[in-house]
């Protein structure tokens, strides 16, 4: 019986991974097509479509998306850190209310948030000419719930006695923050940066409403392109994005060692 369960478990793990990863494999194959047809089993392979990616048409939104994601992840993580500190360190009966408020952008569909933001920005005449600023505000808004949550979990996971230990040893509050709390928060901060970066980079619903000519993210550029053409260039763009994300996660994980915070509390 145990054996049967074990086999079932292994099969389902493989199935889940296949379900998650095979579509990416399809994209990779499609990007290597020698013709302008997307084929699952091409006769031969070619890198010609990647040449297409490295033109202004794609490089500009790609660069814009990277800049936006980088700024968003930094802003959302700083705000998330502040929110997490407020909730975790100030003993206040309203804490759960504050936490709910910080998480509230999650409760509305992002597309609704996008429309609302567009109207709000229009009302205060911020809808044109600001380019990255409105997008940054919108993206940061929807990322803050994630970063707050991650950093709060990290704070709750370590022993509060450590702060007492530091202060008895002569550390001021600032020194405790610098030498004890922030180093212990490193995994949470890196997890927050990584995830808000990825979520911003991949975001469609907010970007859809706040992108403008000259301030277009890669996702929106893909959607615009899709409106009149489907060819392997899109797959190649996707592969490039995929590689960027994988490299980024690998590098941040190498520095921040955050992956353990995602599945265990220690």
Partner 1 sequence: MQEPDVELSDVKKMYDDFTAVEDCTLQIDRGEFVTLLGPSGCGKTTTLNMIAGFFPPTRGHIRIRGEDVTRLPPNKRHVGMVFQNYALFPHLTVEQNVGFGLKMRGADNAAIAKRARESLELVHMGEFAQRYPRQLSGGQQQRIALARAIAPQPSVLLLDEPLSNLDLKLRESMRRELKTLQRELGVTAVFVTHDQDEALTMSDRVVVMNQGRIEQIGSPTEIYAQPRSHFVAAFVGQMNFFTGTVAGTGADRVIEIDDGAGRLACPDAASVGAGEKVEFGIRPEVIAIAGEGEPTPEGRTLEGTIEDVVLAGPIIQVYVGLTGGRSVRVDVLNVQGGPDYTAGEKAALVFMTDDLIVFGA
Nearer to partner 1 by Cβ, of 169 and 247: the residue is 169
User: Exposed/middle/buried for 145, CB within 10 Å: 0-12, 13-18, 19+?
Assistant: buried
Task: Pick from 51, 109, 129, 183 the residue near partner 1 by CB under 8 A.
Answer: 183
Per-residue binding string, partner 1, 43-82, x by CB under 8 A, is ----------------------------------------
Task: Pick from 3, 40, 41, 170 the residue near partner 1 by CB under 8 A.
Answer: 170
Task: Pick from 35, 48, 153, 167 the residue near partner 1 by CB under 8 A.
Answer: 167
Task: Pick from 44, 125, 161, 250 the residue near partner 1 by CB under 8 A.
Answer: 161
Nearest of 130, 10, 144, 21 to residue 73 by alpha carbon: 144
Interaction between residue 171 and partner 1 (CB under 8 A):
yes
Residues β-bridged to residue 215: 212
Residue 172 Cβ vs partner 1, minimum distance, rounded to whole Å: 6
Nearer to partner 1 by Cβ, of 103 and 171: the residue is 171
Task: Pick from 162, 230, 247, 251 the residue near partner 1 by CB under 8 A.
Answer: 162
Residue 48 Cβ vs partner 1, minimum distance, rounded to whole Å: 50
Task: Pick from 66, 141, 166, 191 the residue near partner 1 by CB under 8 A.
Answer: 166
Residues β-bridged to residue 212: 215
Interaction between residue 179 and partner 1 (CB under 8 A):
yes
Stretch that binds partner 1, among 61-69, 133-141, 180-188, 203-211 (CB under 8 A): 180-188
Interaction between residue 169 and partner 1 (CB under 8 A):
yes
Determine the Cα–Cα distance for residues 224 and 235; give it in Å rounded to an integer: 15
Determine the Cα–Cα distance for residues 251 and 241; give it in Å rounded to an integer: 15
Task: Pick from 15, 21, 165, 255 the residue near partner 1 by CB under 8 A.
Answer: 165
Residues β-bridged to residue 45: none
Residue 184 Cβ vs partner 1, minimum distance, rounded to whole Å: 6
Question: Which residue ranges make up the site for partner 1 (CB under 8 A)?
Answer: 158-159, 161-162, 164-172, 175, 179-180, 183-184, 186
């Amino acid at each position: 019986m145990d054996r049967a369960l074990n086999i079932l478990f292994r099969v389902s793990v493989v199935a889940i991974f296949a379900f998650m990863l095979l579509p990416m494999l399809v994209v990779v194959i499609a990007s290597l097509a020698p013709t302008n047809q997307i084929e699952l089993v091409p006769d031969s392979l070619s890198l010609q479509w990647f040449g297409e990616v490295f033109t202004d048409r794609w490089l500009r939104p790609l660069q814009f998306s990277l800049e936006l994601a980088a700024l968003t992840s930094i802003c959302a993580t700083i705000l998330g850190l502040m929110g997490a500190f407020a909730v975790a360190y100030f003993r206040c009966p309203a804490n759960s209310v504050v936490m709910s408020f910080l998480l509230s952008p999650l409760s509305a569909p992002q597309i609704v948030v996008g429309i609302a933001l567009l109207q709000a920005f229009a009302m205060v005449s911020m809808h044109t000419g600001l380019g990255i600023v409105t997008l940054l505000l919108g993206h940061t808004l929807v990322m803050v719930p994630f970063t707050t949550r991650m950093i709060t979990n990290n704070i709750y996971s370590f022993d509060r006695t450590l702060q007492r230990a530091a202060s008895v040893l002569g550390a001021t509050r600032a020194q405790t923050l610098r030498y004890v709390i922030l180093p212990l928060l490193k995994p949470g901060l890196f997890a927050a940066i990584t995830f808000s970066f990825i979520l911003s980079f991949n975001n469609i619903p907010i970007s859809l409403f706040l992108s403008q000519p000259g301030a277009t993210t890669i996702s929106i550029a893909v959607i615009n392109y899709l409106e009149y053409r489907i060819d392997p260039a899109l797959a190649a763009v996707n592969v490039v994005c995929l590689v960027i994300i994988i490299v980024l996660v690998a590098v941040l994980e190498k520095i921040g060692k955050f992956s353990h915070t995602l599945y265990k509390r220690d």
